Amino acid sequence: MEGIILGIESTAHTFSFGRVSTSGELFPSFSSLYRPEEGGIHPREAADHHSETTSLLLERLSSSDDFSWDSIIAVAFSQGPGLGPCLRVGASVARTLSTRLSVPLLGVNHCVAHIEVGRNQTGCKDPVLLYVSGGNTQVIARADGRYRVLGETLDIGIGNMLDKFARTQGIPFPGGPEIEKLSNEFSEKGETSLDDVLLPYGVHGMDLAFSGMLTSAVQKVAEGKSLGEVCWSLQEHSFATCVEVAERALAHTGKDELLLGGGVACNERLRNMSKMMCEDRGAECFWPDKPYCIDNGTMIAELGRRMLECGLETELMDSGIDPSLRTDNTAVVWS
């Protein structure tokens, strides 16, 4: 019988349990999203949410038809990067389960997990990854045994920028999906021209910046531009900067696959822009299904599976969290 690797995600607002089989079959995650009543994420409150939802999520996981505790052969968890109090909850649950079940523990790099679940789901081999989430915006490619960060945001993550803009307009977290909706409604009217809603374009070599764009977008609404038009312009500008850097990364590395990952990769406009750029240069564009773009336990299980195949288990004494772990801190020894 095939074994199952359990994956636990708890880096920020999402607490999630997912599974993958030893042959790489992905199972949907059981997740709970912490939504602050007002303002941004308060790390302690998010961690309390994770602690309070642990039993409920484990109950839902264990009562799904195809689940059995006996089939679990390892427990993977997000070791970093992320918010310390949130990471600590996931790590404690993982240590408890691994000890109780007497199976190995696997401490996983959350950013690398976004890449590996995308490779599993789409079948792409050696992509440039455009990793666009709340906290992270990076253009990554594998070289010399690491996922190297070729370019990244110099200030805030693109999703964080969208969420902050949304919050100024009274739109609750997560703001990205609502901005997409308002933007679509505006562009369907067919009156699109960037001339009246130009925003600062934050590309600096291979790096990106979003805070100037955010300030200027808030200003445009204050000046009387409609919210839909500004949402549309914000998407056009911010996605164009990401796609531009991703294209340069494809050109520099000579790779011919682009993989999108992270919560903002749910956005259809970003997907279309990326696809157009790839088609223009004879490359292929991939993205995982939406539940595997946003944070989820299954992606943690998938990277755990790759690590387990290479014997990369995490000893209890090495299982401390690392809130500032970087994508390129993790040696990539699997194929």
Residues forming the site for Fe ion (CB under 5 A)? 133, 295
Contact string 54-93 vs ligand ATP (x = CB under 6 A): ----------------------------x-----------
Cα separations in angstroms, 97 against 6, 17, 58, 63: 10, 12, 11, 17
Instruction: Decide: residue 109, CB within 10 A, 0-12 exposed, 13-18 middle, 19+ buried.
Output: buried
Reduce the DSSP state of residue 327 to 3 states and report it: helix
| DSSP assignment of 42-100 | -HHHHHHHHHHHHHHHHHHHHTSTT--GGGEEEEEEEEESS-HHHHHHHHHHHHHHHHH
Among 18, 90, 151, 176, binds ligand ATP (CB under 6 A): 176
The residue range among 68-76, 118-126, 127-135, 324-332 that interacts with ligand ATP, by the rule CB under 6 A, is 127-135
CB 261 within 8 A of CB 95: no
Q: Choose the one of ligand ATP, Fe ion, none that binds residue 236, judging by a C-beta under 5 to 8 angstroms depending on kind.
A: none
- Binding of ligand ATP by 304 (CB under 6 A): no
Among 4, 5, 6, 12, binds ligand ATP (CB under 6 A): 12
- Binding of ligand ATP by 18 (CB under 6 A): no
> Considering the complex, what minimum distance in angstroms separates the CB of residue 11 from ligand ATP?
5
| DSSP assignment of 184-200 | HHHHHTT---GGGG---
Structure tokens that stand for 82 in this block: 């992320």
- Binding of ligand ATP by 264 (CB under 6 A): yes
Torsion angles phi and psi, residue 179, rounded to 5: -60, -40
- Binding of ligand ATP by 266 (CB under 6 A): yes
Among 9, 116, 163, 247, binds ligand ATP (CB under 6 A): 163
Of the pair 152, 180, the CB lying nearest ligand ATP is at 180
CB 203 within 8 A of CB 245: yes
Interface ranges with ligand ATP (CB under 6 A): 11-12, 14, 82, 110, 133-136, 157, 159, 162-163, 174-177, 180, 262-264, 266-267, 294-295
